[in-house]
Amino acid sequence: SFDLTQPPSVSVSPGQTVSVTCSGNNLGNKYVSWYQQKPGQSPVVVIYHDDKRPAGIPDRISGSNSGNTATLTISGTQAVDEADYFCQAWDTSFVVFGGGTKLTVL
C-alpha cells in the first residue's frame, strides 16, 4: 500500500521559516494537499494541488512537490500557525494521509 511519512514534530521560533516534509514513493507524480488542524477542530485545507492556496490562506504558507517529497513551508511563522499538519494524496481511487506533524512555535 502507498504510505506517506511525516516527521512527528517540528519547532520554530516566531518570525522564522519552517518546513514540514511528507515522503512517499514517487510522490511528485501525485497531487498533494495539506491540512491544518488545531486542537478540538476539524482540519482545514491550506495547500492543494501541491502549491495552490485556497482563498483566505495567507501567502506565507506555500507548498512544493518533487521526486519523493512534498514540502509545506511557512515563512514568518506566527503563534496562530501552531497546529498539526497532515499531508494527503490520492493513490488511484484511494486517499492516503500522512501521520501528521505537530508544529510548535516556541
Partner 1 sequence: QVQLVQSGAEVKQPGASLNVSCKASGYTFSAYALHWVRQAPGQRLEWMGWINGGNINTKFSPKFQDRVTFSRDTSANTAYMELTGLKSEDTAVYFCARESLDRGRPFDYWGQGSLVIVSS
Nearer to partner 1, 60 or 102 (CB): 102
Q: Which string of x and - marks every residue 73-92 that binds partner 1 (by CB under 8 A)?
A: -------------x-x-x--
Contact criterion met (CB below 8 Å) for 100 and 20 = no
Measured CA to CA in angstroms, residue 8 lies from 43, 45, 53, 59, 83 at distances of 17, 19, 24, 25, 12
Beta bridge partners of 88: 33, 97
- Of 16-75, binders to partner 1 (CB under 8 A) are 31-33, 35, 37, 42-45, 48-50, 52, 54
Binding site for partner 1 (CB under 8 A): 1, 31-33, 35, 37, 42-45, 48-50, 52, 54, 86, 88, 90, 93-100
